[in-house]
Structure 1
Amino acid sequence: MLDLNTFANGALAEKANTELQRVIENIADPNTSFKSKRKVTTDIISHIDGVAASSASVLPMISKRIIMPANEVMMIHHAMTGAWENAKQLRKSADDVERISKAMCQHYLDRAGDKMTEEKL
């Protein structure tokens, strides 16, 4: 296993972190066009070892390649939250969860192409 923090004096880790930060910032903005600003200039290969559950399943969606043995699991679902709030706060939380869910789902749909519809997802 290659340690990106020590290999090439950390240059690869810095490049990967910069690219991931750019993608994360664009994911956070639901108005960002995935066709223009969500492009990653570094080839990311995701290795799924064990379980890629919940938000951990989003990064592989923007990877160039996903390596995932048949006995591993990727769990995708709409965003969820738990809340102990008043009515106004609950409405805001529901809006936030819906916005996050739409952004996450768009990554799954982009990756699946014509094999998946929003209704089926």
Structure 2
Amino acid sequence: MANNEIDIYGFIDNVTVEGMTISPQTIKDQLNTMGDVDEVVVNINSNGGDVFSGVAIYNMLRRQDAHITVNIDGLAASIASVIAMAGDTVNMPGNAMLMVHNAWTEIAGDSNAFKKQADSLERINSVVFNSYVDKSPDIDHALLQQYMDDETWFTAKEAKNLGLIDNVTKSSRVAAAATSTMLGGETFMKRYRNEEPQQPQEPKKQGEEITVEDVMDKLEEILAEVKKGNEGEDNKEPKEPKQTEPPQNSFARLFNMQTK
């Protein structure tokens, strides 16, 4: 990565966790390290995160004297799409997506708490709304609000027609990000949580690219076989218990593998 590039790959939060989340403090540190440069390149592949952390990153980029070039490498969703609007030039390949929606939260409390939170969300929505309008002043305000109400996903061509990006670039491989979207999306996560039955997968033809979802599906099959074998062991003569270390590899932790 060049010394004038920033990668926003993963969840946006107020604390950075290496390889998983990115925070305003990290962006601030990177900008300070760059010093006086003519251009700052921001590469985005994120399904969003904390609104205020994203707004802080957006404002930091907008304050820069340097030309801000944003590349939406795979996905700019939710508050990540707002950060993308900080670009003086926004590039988006034909195989990338941009998603806009209203801010949302989870609360508990009485009717007064809900009314107060609803008012707060409306104010936050106006901040998000204005970020899109700043990028595309001629956009139809009523139409934009409808898009946000409906949670709308845009292709590169659609985003360009709305003025939210500047260039549709050549499609490229999607950069990796440690999010549920990049692990196969909500469809995969529902299967992982056993919320829907798995459908048998047809084998890949020779020459077809193996995706991350293919790998995770295969791991699920292996895990099922391991559990099946363990059930058979339970019917045999009991053995002396032995202590085992918890699995250390990342795939084992992901599936919370237990041998018993």
The one-letter amino acid paired with 2:75 is V
- Residue 114 of structure 2 aligns to a residue whose secondary structure is helix
**TM-score, normalising length from structure 2?**
0.34
Give 1:118's aligned residue.
141
Give 1:30's aligned residue.
none
From 69, 75, 92, give the equivalent of 1:68: 92
- CA separation of 1:25/1:89 partners in 2, compared to 1, >3 Å: closer, same or farther? farther
CA distance in 1, matches of 2:73, 2:88: 17
The one-letter amino acid paired with 1:117 is D
From 16, 32, 40, give the equivalent of 1:14: 32
CA distance in 1, matches of 2:74, 2:58: 27
The one-letter amino acid paired with 1:14 is N
Alpha-carbon distance, 1:4 to partner: 5.7
Alpha-carbon distance, 1:99 to partner: 0.6
Moved over 3 A (4+): none
**1:87 maps to 2:114:** no
From 61, 71, 76, give the equivalent of 1:52: 76
RCO higher in structure (CA 8 A, sep ≥6) = 1
Alpha-carbon distance, 1:84 to partner: 2.1
Instruction: Name the structure where helix makes up a greater proportion of residues.
Output: 1
Alpha-carbon distance, 1:113 to partner: 1.9
Instruction: Name the structure where strand makes up a greater proportion of residues.
Output: 2
Identity, % of aligned pairs? Answer: 31
- Residue 48 of structure 1 aligns to a residue whose secondary structure is strand
Alpha-carbon distance, 1:81 to partner: 1.8
Give 2:159's aligned residue.
none
What do the CA deviations read for 1:18-72 (whole angstroms, capped 9, x no partner)?
xxx9x72996xxxxxxxxxx65423221111111110001111121111110110
Give 1:98's aligned residue.
122
**TM-score, normalising length from structure 1?**
0.68
- CA separation of 1:93/1:15 partners in 2, compared to 1, >3 Å: closer, same or farther? farther
**1:24 maps to 2:48:** no
Segments of 5+ residues of structure 2 without an aligned counterpart are: 6-28, 35-52, 145-260
User: How many residues of Structure 1 are paired with residues of Structure 2 in the alignment?
Assistant: 100
CA distance in 1, matches of 2:4, 2:137: 32
- Residue 47 of structure 1 aligns to a residue whose secondary structure is strand
Segments of 5+ residues of structure 1 without an aligned counterpart are: 6-10, 28-37
- CA separation of 1:15/1:57 partners in 2, compared to 1, >3 Å: closer, same or farther? farther
- Residue 70 of structure 2 aligns to a residue whose secondary structure is strand
CA distance in 1, matches of 2:80, 2:33: 20
From 84, 108, 112, give the equivalent of 2:132: 108
Larger radius of gyration: 2
